[in-house]
Chains A and B, each alone.
Chain A
Amino acid sequence: MTTGLTDLRALERNAFRKFYDDGVFDIYVGAMLITMGVAAIFADRLANEFQSGLLTLGLALAVTVPLLLWRRHLLRSRLGDFKPGPARRRKIATTRLVLLGSVLFGVVAFIVATIAYRSDADIDMAGLIVPLLWMLNSLIVFGAMAYLLDVPRFYVHAVIIGSAMPLLIWPDMLWDTKVAPWLAFGLPGSIVASIGIHKLVAFLQAYPVLEAEAAIDGEA
């Protein structure tokens, strides 16, 4: 039992960090990337874009929603629950802003890329810029999460996830070697999900389900 009296900041950081030790968020992000790879397979096999989009969305929801619901139960039964202090709440709010910014940035980038593709814009330039934007976005989002949420392994995720789009486009541009989309997204996704699974196994061993709360009335 450590009191944490000497370094309250470290005590708070370590307590908060535990809530990301479960690895479920990593599995979630990895699953999303794998879903993007699978979406490419659907798009190839199904002539109808609407059908393939619907299938992808269904798959993404089927994988992620139960995972996130389970995460809540997993954490509550093993770590309990807390309301963070003002400093941590500010950091969480900033993280959400960064995530929102990333989504908006993604939408704008997608629209610009689509317009460029349909016009006579230089395709080689788009092939260079789109992966760079993807990489930059990943580095900013996961880098900010790592820094603000005090979870250093998200720096690694930033690099792994950021490599997906360059892996898809640059080998084709530079060496005329096509990398299948399921591989370009599936490989980084599998690495991130594997890290998550490893963390989850360690978490389940380190933090057993706590005995349910009895009436706390001090009659011990």
Chain B
Amino acid sequence: MAKPEKRTTVSTTVDRLIHEPARLTILTNLFVVESANATYLLQQTGLTWGNLGSHLVKLEEAEYIDVVKGYNGRKPETTVSLTEKGKKALLEYRSQLLTALAPLATE
């Protein structure tokens, strides 16, 4: 019996942690700045505090971002920046996605 052809899909060839739209938006926004506070990310991404927080935790666990908690006056302020690993992962994701979608351009 012939072996079934192994199917390669976009979701299996790209980094699935980055493939989620909200996390991708966070990472691309961080890619173009050196660092940003959470309010900036909230405004840029349109996420809620809860969603933003949960995605930041996942990205921090993967060591894609650095999260520094501090204070601006008496108000708590979280500053976020992309790590080298995060930058590399995002660029790799971009090229993986372009490679995966390349056949569409010739069809």
Are B33 and A218 neighbours in the complex by a CB distance under 8 Å?
no
Q: What's the tally of chain B residues with a CB closer than 8 Å to chain A?
A: 43
Are B28 and A15 neighbours in the complex by a CB distance under 8 Å?
no
A84-B33 contact given A3-B21, A78-B43, CB 8 Å threshold: yes
Are B78 and A220 neighbours in the complex by a CB distance under 8 Å?
no
Residues facing B in A4-37 (CB within 8 A) are 4-5, 8-9, 11-12, 15
Are A216 and B78 neighbours in the complex by a CB distance under 8 Å?
yes
Contact residues of A with B, CB < 8 Å? Answer: 1-5, 8-9, 11-12, 15, 76-86, 88-89, 207, 210-220
Are B38 and A85 neighbours in the complex by a CB distance under 8 Å?
no
A79-B28 contact given A217-B53, A220-B51, CB 8 Å threshold: no
Q: List chain B residues, Cβ under 8 A from A79.
A: 39-40, 43
A214 to B53, CA, bound (A): 9
Are B42 and A5 neighbours in the complex by a CB distance under 8 Å?
no
A81 to B70, CA, bound (A): 14
Nearest-neighbor residue (CB-CB) of B26 within chain A: A3
Are B49 and A216 neighbours in the complex by a CB distance under 8 Å?
yes
Among A3, A8, A214, A216, the residue within 8 A (CB) of B56 is: A216
A217 to B49, CA, bound (A): 10
Among A3, A85, A212, the residue within 8 A (CB) of B28 is: A3
Among B21, B32, B94, the residue within 8 A (CB) of A1 is: B21
8 smallest A-B Cβ distances: which pairs?
A220-B50, A80-B40, A80-B39, A218-B57, A12-B32, A82-B36, A216-B53, A83-B34
Are A220 and B33 neighbours in the complex by a CB distance under 8 Å?
no
Are A11 and B53 neighbours in the complex by a CB distance under 8 Å?
no
Nearest-neighbor residue (CB-CB) of B31 within chain A: A8
